[in-house]
Chain A
Amino acid sequence: MTRTLIGLTVAAAVGVLAMVTLWGSGPMPSATLQIDYALRVVQDTGAVNVVTAILFDYRGLDTLGEATVIFTASAVLAFLAPRSHASMLSVRLSMLILYGIAILLPFLMVFGFSTIIFGHVSPGGGFTGGVMLSSSVVIFAIAYSVGGQQSFVIPVLAKKYIENGAMLVFVAIGFLTLGTGGAFLANAATGIGLGEAGTLLSGGIIPYLNLASGFKVGMGLALIIISLFAE
């Protein structure tokens, strides 16, 4: 009986906390930074999506740090995963699921890619699209290699190279901006034009950073999940 009591109190506490934070989240008294970002973002970075502009331009270095977090997590887990021929899910998927997934997969991948590529224009961005990509890889792995033969799965090594490659691309872009006189990962100072806001090729280096971090997060998370599977 005490378990349910503890559970109830925890649930109530979380609920109250959520209510309080939501209640208190009226317009912050000093929202100057917010307004400043909103006003300045289109001229500075050419990207329409403020969140992606902040994520990849104003605070590009933080995103680089965040990317390394996923990088180390997937490296450690890939290292810990046994090399041996581990069985995936013990359950045998019925044909209905296999064909359903066969229909679903292309749309999921296209949606993931479009989220990445249009990151600086429409909502979403490198990370969200990357997670979608990784989920599509994992669904592929679950559905078509149940029973452990890894032949259908993108070989783990290829995923590692994609992830490492994307990471290097991210850093290389950073150095590219260094080369053209701006600071590391500084967008506006590079030679790449900011383009006309709202179009696909606008936003200077943001689309390329988006693409790099999208692949990186995608393959990194796929590696994490596959290695979690393989234990």
Chain B
Amino acid sequence: MIYATIGLVILLVVIAIYAVLSRSLVAAIVAVGVFSFVVSVIFVVLQAPDVAMTQAVVGAGLTTAFFVIALDKTNTDDTEGAE
């Protein structure tokens, strides 16, 4: 059980690094969504279903929706990424 958690946490770090370094904004937003999803998977592994459900719904659902709205409102083109 602890090994699953360690594996998932390492996955988290990889996703975080990708989100920071990714060229396009959309890829970064998706990475943040996946990050929240992996965090809720960790909560499931640690047997906390309530927190996992809330994290999945709010983290992956609403936060990503807000980022997408922001991206659409600022309608910057996708490749703005790191100069």
Residues of B with C-beta under 8 A to A229: 69
Q: A-contacting residues of B (Cβ < 8 Å)?
A: 5-6, 9-10, 12-13, 16-17, 20-21, 46, 49-51, 53-54, 57-58, 61-62, 65-66, 69, 72-73, 75, 82-83
The size class of the interface chain A forms with chain B is 35 or more
Q: Is the CB of A132 within 8 A of B75?
A: no
**Residues in B neighbouring A228, C-beta threshold 8 A:** 66, 69
* Residue pair B65, A125 in contact (C-beta under 8 Å): no
How many A-B Cβ pairs are below 8 Å? 78
User: Do A135 and B13 touch (CB < 8 A)?
Assistant: no
Do B73 and A231 have beta carbons less than 8 Å apart?
Answer: yes
* Given contacts A7-B21, A10-B20, A18-B13, A91 and B72 within 8 Å (CB-CB): yes
Would you list the 8 A-B pairs with minimal beta carbon distance, nearest first? A15-B13, A7-B20, A123-B49, A11-B17, A51-B50, A11-B16, A131-B57, A128-B53
Interface of B is mostly: helix
A80: CB under 8 A from chain B? Answer: no
> B69 near A124 (CB under 8 angstroms)?
no
Other-chain residue from A14, A15, A22, A127 in contact with B54 (beta carbon distance below 8 A): A127
Q: What's the least CB distance linking A228 to chain B, in Å?
A: 6
Is the beta-carbon distance between A131 and B54 smaller than 8 angstroms?
yes
Kindly report which residue of chain B lies nearest to residue A6, judged by CB atoms. Answer: B20
Contact B13 A131 (CB under 8 A): no
A-B CB contact pairs (8 Å), 25 listed:
A3-B82, A3-B83, A4-B20, A4-B82, A8-B21, A14-B13, A14-B16, A15-B10, A15-B13, A15-B16, A18-B12, A49-B50, A51-B51, A115-B53, A123-B53, A125-B50, A128-B50, A128-B57, A131-B57, A131-B62, A134-B62, A135-B65, A225-B65, A225-B66, A228-B69
